[in-house]
Each structure stands twice: as C-alpha cells, then as structure tokens.
Amino acid sequence: MKMYKKAKSYNCLASETLQTANYKPPTKIKWQVLFLCFALLLFSCKKESTNPEVLPNGYSDQAIGKSANDLLSDTKYTTLNIQIQYMPGYALDPATITNFTSYVNGLCNKPGGINITQQQIGANGDTLTVGDVAVIEAKNRTAYTSGNTIAVYILVTDGYDTSATTLGFAYRNTSICFFGQNIFNNSGGIGQVTRVSLETSVLEHEFGHLMGLVNLGTPMVTFHQDTAHGNHCNNPDCLMYYAIDTHDALPMLASRIPVLDSNCLKDLRANGGK
C-alpha cells in the first residue's frame, strides 16, 4: 500500500480582497491593468488542471480508505464496476478473476451486481514510482464513479516498483497497481507458488485496503492492527498481514491462499459489508 500525494493546488481567491474605504473609480488605464491581471490569474489557475496525474473524476482522486463504506454498503452505490487494464503479456489468469469475483461478492453489498472487465493497454517496461502509476491511470482509465455505480481501477504493469520486492499496492481510494512481471517471475515455475495463488492473494489484499483494512477508513471492532507495519493485521495467518504484497509472502502461499481473519471480517460487517 502506498499513499498517493496529489500535486499542490492553489486557491486563486484566497488572497483577493476589495478595499471599499476612500473608493475612487479607477482610470481607464487602471481598468486595463486589472483586466490583464485577472486574465493572467485565470490562466495560471486553469493550467494547474493539466497535471498528468490528476483524474478527471474528483471522487476517484481521494486517499486510500475514503470509499470503504461506499464499497461495502449499498447506501450510496448499488453496483460495482471493476476495470482491469493490463500491459501486453500480463493479463490476470481467468481463475484469479473467478477467485476475486467470489471474494468481492462475499463482502460487498451490491444488489445491482459486480462487473469485472479486463482490457489490454500499451506497454511501459519501466521501474515505476507511485506518481508514474498515477499518470498511466489518468491516461487510460475510463471507468469512474457515477450515479448509483462505484468504480474501481486495477492496473497490471509490465515493470517493477522502485522496491523490487513489492508485488502490488493500493494508492488511491479506488485504485490498485499490480506488478505483473514481478508476479510472473516469482510464480508458476518449479518450486514456486502457482501464479493464481500469488495473483489472488495480492489482489485481494490490496482490495482489502480499499475496503478500509486495517483501521484505514473502516474502524476496528477489536484492536488487531500491526502498528509496526502500518495498516495491516497482527495475525500472521490473515490475508491482511503485512507480508502478503511482498516476496515475504511466498513461503506462506506454498500451501494455501490466505483469507481474512475473524477480526477483519467483523470490521467490514460493522462498516456496511456482508
């Protein structure tokens, strides 16, 4: 999990005041100067919106966990659309999609349905920072929250995180990044865990963060946060254990795909989940 920091925004009106005492109508030249300043002000404020990391939908440009209740409950949104975009050669295995669909259906109250699509986008091949990932998302994402439908975006890249042991991270309230090449290189071979096991575990772990786990938008019913490792569960057998999205999880996944423990499930139910 990584926190995405948006570019600085500027309040164009914060420092503007009108002086009414001893008011004198400005001359024609003063009016021209004022008009020029106002035009420059508008231009400088408008330019900020061209930041390549900023999404066109403000709802989807929030911190991780901000949409926890919206994802779990049907109070505001009754339908969930999940858009997966992958770079060439790194489509998620169909069995992973099946596992993930079952996982989300079992936790999120969405009577209108949960729809998952998978689509290929252009290759990148680079080591990616969270800012780089945000730029790729802004360029390619088309599914956004609107009406009674909440949307989640999952990017599967052909590169690596700046930390070579990271397999994926959540970085906005409805955004997840998956490092496909890193997952492929550490699964499916002789003596390695299966690709489906690794993909499923990392994907479900990161979606857990979007749902507010642990103590990240979904309050804890019973304290179970591993404070030494941020917003993770202190149960080493739980899906939300800190090691799941790194190479440290590989020995654990040799025998099973981890699931949420009772404390994590209680948290989700108390915040609108099933």
All domains in the chain, ordered by first residue: 58-270 (3.40.390.10)
Q: How far apart, in whole angstroms, are the C-alpha atoms of residue 265 and residue 274? A: 9
Q: What is the DSSP letter of 227?
A: G
Whole-angstrom Cα Rg for the chain: 22
Only one residue has tokens 């996944």, namely 253
Report helix, strand or coil for 272: coil
Q: What is the DSSP letter of 187?
A: B
| Structure token pair of residue 6 | 């948006």
Burial label for 216, CB within 10 Å (0-12, 13-18, 19+), is buried
Q: What is the pTM of this model?
A: 0.82
Longest CA pairwise span in the chain (Å): 85
| Structure token pair of residue 250 | 């590989």
pLDDT at position 117, please?
97
- 39-95 residue pLDDT tens: 434 333 333 345 678 899 999 999 999 999 999 999 999 999 999 999 999 999 999
**Strand (E) or helix (H) holding 178:** strand 175-179
pLDDT at position 157, please?
96
| Structure token pair of residue 260 | 């949420």
Where does 152-246 have alpha helices with state H? 180-185, 195-210
Q: How far apart, in whole angstroms, are the C-alpha atoms of residue 86 and residue 92? A: 8
Tell me whether strands 149-157 and 160-161 are parallel, antiparallel or unpaired: unpaired
pLDDT at position 16, please?
26
| Structure token pair of residue 261 | 């423990």
Only one residue has tokens 């106002």, namely 38
Ranges of residues in the chain whose predicted pLDDT is under 70: 1-51
What DSSP assignment string belongs to 243-257? GGGBGGGHHHHTT--
Report the first-to-last Cα separation within the chain, whole angstroms: 24
pLDDT at position 44, please?
34
Q: How far apart, in whole angstroms, are the C-alpha atoms of residue 227 and residue 200? A: 25
